[in-house]
Amino acid sequence: MEIFRYGQTEIEHLTRRDRKLGAAIEMFGAIKREIRPDPFAGLVTSVVAQQISNKAASAIRRRLQTLLEAITPDRIAGADISEMRQCGLSARKVEYIKGIADAAVNGEINFSRFNEMTDEEIIDQLSSLRGIGVWTVEMLLLFSLSRPDVVSWGDHAIRHGMMNLYGLKKLTKEQFQRYRRRYSPYGSVASLYLWALSAMEEPAHLTAINRRIP
């Protein structure tokens, strides 16, 4: 299993720039999140995960992998729609995934060039496909391309993690952008901890952090 790599440079930067986040990093320790280096398979995985739980997305992804043997443009382009539906995909998601495969097969999207492109260029190119929004591409940037500075406004859990960390009842986009700039250029590592913070059901440790660190 390949994981998103980070180390002391990123931790020291985030701790120096944001003491509350630094305290949360110390509390959680190292976080290991799997990445899928193949950007085509990563994008398909992101579409599968749209608006469903991580558990449900993992189950569908396993069934799709079993059906196709390999998540490639040719395999998806040639796959039977009804069999893809039986994996747990909605008709709309099957349409979106087929569209991604068609774009790769006909050369509209060259996934092998992504390493030469900026985050913004990749977002612009992939957002032209049906069913592919900014959040979906941002998850690709982080979990396939290991881009270092991804903090997604479109991710509910990221926003919830910020609210937990800073003791906020609501979060405006202006506040979000201020925190995002504070984390840069290592926002992706901050995102790993914000996801962990969002999952805390009884954030007593967060209350202590907010009381100790103004």
Residue ending a domain, choose from 120, 143, 166 = 143
Q: Is the pTM of this model over 0.85?
A: yes
Which candidate, 141, 159, 113, 161, places its Cα nearest to that of 46?
A: 141
Shared domain check, 154 and 107: no
Tokens at 208, concatenated? 């202590």
Which are the contacts of 182, defined by CB distance < 8 A and separation ≥ 6?
17, 18
Q: Give the pLDDT band of residue 178 (cuts 50, 70, 90).
A: very high
The SS3 assignment for 109 reads coil
What are the backbone dihedrals phi and psi of residue 146, each rounded to the nearest 5 degrees, phi first? Answer: 55, 40
Shared domain check, 23 and 77: no
What is the average pLDDT value for the chain, to the nearest integer?
A: 92
Quote the domain boundaries for residue 118. Answer: 39-143
Shared domain check, 128 and 83: yes
Express each pLDDT in 131-140 by its tens digit: 999 999 999 9
Count of domains in the chain?
2
| Catalytic machinery residues | 155
Shared domain check, 160 and 117: no
**Axis crossing angle, helix 19-28 with helix 187-198, rounded to the nearest 10:** 70
For residues 20 and 38, give the distance between their C-alpha atoms in angstroms, rounded to a whole number.
34
Shared domain check, 163 and 79: no
